[in-house]
Amino acid sequence: MDCFIPNKNTCKKVLIPPSKSYAQRAILAASLCEEAVLLSNLGKSADVCYFLTMSKQLGANHQAEQDGALLIQGFQNQRSPQLNAGESGLGLRLITSICAVLGSAYEIIGEGSLKQRPIVEFEHILTQIGVSCSTKNGYLPLHLQGRAKGGHIQIDGSSGSQYLTGLLMALPLAEDDSEIFVSALTSRPYIDITLSVLNEFGIHVEHDQYEHFKISGGQHYTRKRPYLIEGDYSGAANWMVFGALNEGIQIRGLNPATQQGDAAMLTVLSKAGVQFNWNQSGLDIQKSTVLPFDFDASECPDLFPALVVLAAAAKGQSKIKGANRLLHKESNRAAVLVEEFSSIGLNIEHIGDLLVIEGKGTLNSGSIHSHNDHRIAMAGAIAATLTPSGLTIVEAESVNKSYPNFWENWSSL
């Protein structure tokens, strides 16, 4: 699907969709509870929908409630030997570690870009806790055999936090205690999200500066109260930029005290001279003159597309560090950002671990191909407001992965 985006729009308010990072963790935690748990504000992103299916395949019962809430009760049905993670990298890491602890034989498959994302690290990690693991030359499908009882594990955290998150959620269920030794961990805020959800579901994990984690075995997931999924800062980042470039915007549904690393977007806005404030209605972004900025996005790589648009709006050079974290996203996001934004007149280069942008405050009209990457598609929509006559977004439906009502919000605003 292609989508033409006009160059200007007047925007007042937008309600942000729920965080799929929180939602997937909460679904898994609820699926591991013996009592029923009510989850609200789950949303309908593709990643969440796939994870709900995997929850059922693990034996959980689901019952739809009013206002879109979902009642989940775990360990009710027979588990399926095959699970489909869709295109969710987090979903794959979570479900694989859980299957390793629950035991038996499993095949885990995926779709689209997930089949091209390397997962050979599983073979190194799971064999340390006694689980047989094989991949297809380092890619899906993934086959597991055996049951992890806990133990000592060493992992390389330089490629991200998702492998660690899977282990942190799985090993409390193991028979024995576990210790995880992590080197060069990146994306630490996502571990804070994991630890927050674990705490909300009665699981205790100790750690020393994110390098050494101690996990007692034989724990039980439990929760007596409903659990509300908070709004997603990754999706909100696009509207923050939109508001700064146009007539301002009020963003609702965000938690000011969030653990989400992408809340660092507010730090970037301050660096770039964008005015904003919190009030009872949400976060107000004011139309502002955007200044060039330097920012290290290594801990929040999902912000890169929105940051590129913000840098394009500034007159001068901006530098965004952490570009090497973008190689194995839904696309090679660094290369796609350079290719697509260069095609509409932005001077942008990938130099080492940096994206270097020479902004001039405007972009050319034309076309941007999302490469089936939801964050490229959303950033392209915001970039359209810098053009004289708009942009065409190719594969605009890719937003369904995280923000299925993005285009509805755009139209309504």
Segment 43-67, tens digit of pLDDT? 999 999 999 999 999 999 999 998 8
Residue 351: exposure state from Cβ atoms within 10 A (0-12, 13-18, ≥19): exposed
Q: Strand 105-109: give its sheet, edge to edge.
A: 82-84, 105-109, 139-145, 132-136
Query: Which of 390, 367, 357, 232 has the alpha carbon at shortest distance from 290?
Result: 357
Instruction: Note whether 161 and 303 are same-domain residues.
Output: no
pTM reported for the whole predicted model: 0.93
Report residue 27 as tokens. 């679904």
One domain for residues 235 and 370: yes
One domain for residues 131 and 250: no
Please report how many Cα atoms fall inside a 13 Å half-sphere around the Cα of residue 334, on the Cβ side.
Answer: 20
Q: What is the pLDDT of residues 143-187, one digit of tens each?
A: 999 999 999 999 999 888 999 999 999 999 999 999 999 999 988
Say what the pLDDT of residue 329 is: 62
Residue 221 lies in a domain: no
Residue 226 lies in a domain: no
166 and 312 both lie in a single domain: no
What is the model's pLDDT at position 159?
A: 81
- pLDDT of res. 10: 46
The confidence score (pLDDT) of residue 331 equals 66
Amino acid, res. 169: M
- What CATH number corresponds to the domain at position 290? 3.65.10.10
Q: Which of 216, 248, 279 finishes a domain?
A: 216
The answer to whether position 264 is within a domain reads yes
What is the C-alpha R_g of the chain?
21
Residue 222 lies in a domain: no
Identify whether residues 289 and 357 lie together within a single domain: yes
- Taking residue 232's Cβ as centre, other Cβ atoms within 10 Å add up to 26
Q: Are residues 239 and 274 in the same domain?
A: yes
- Are residues 24 and 10 part of one domain? no
Instruction: Examine the domain organization and report whether 205 and 278 are in the same domain.
Output: no
Looking at residue 36, its amino acid is A
Range of the domain at 130: 20-216
| Active-site residue flag, 302 | yes
Residues 6+ apart with CB under 8 A from 279: none
Q: Are residues 247 and 294 in the same domain?
A: yes
- Strands 315-321 and 294-296 turn out to be parallel
Instruction: Kindly state whether residue 344 falls inside one of the protein's structural domains.
Output: yes
Do 90 and 13 fall within a single domain? no
The answer to whether residue 225 is domain-embedded is no
Q: Among 192, 216, 240, give the residue marking a domain's end.
A: 216
User: Tokens standing for 159?
Assistant: 């490629």
9 and 30 part of one domain: no
In a domain, 223, yes or no: no
Residue 224 lies in a domain: no
Q: Which of 47, 232, 262, 302 is catalytic?
A: 302
- Residues of the chain whose pLDDT is less than 70? 1, 3-11, 328-331
Structure tokens at 218: 């034989």
Query: Domains in the chain: how many in total?
Result: 2
Is there a contact between 328 and 118 (Cβ–Cβ < 8 Å)? yes
**293 shares a domain with 177:** no
Instruction: Indicate the residue among 187, 216, 245 that finishes a domain.
Output: 216
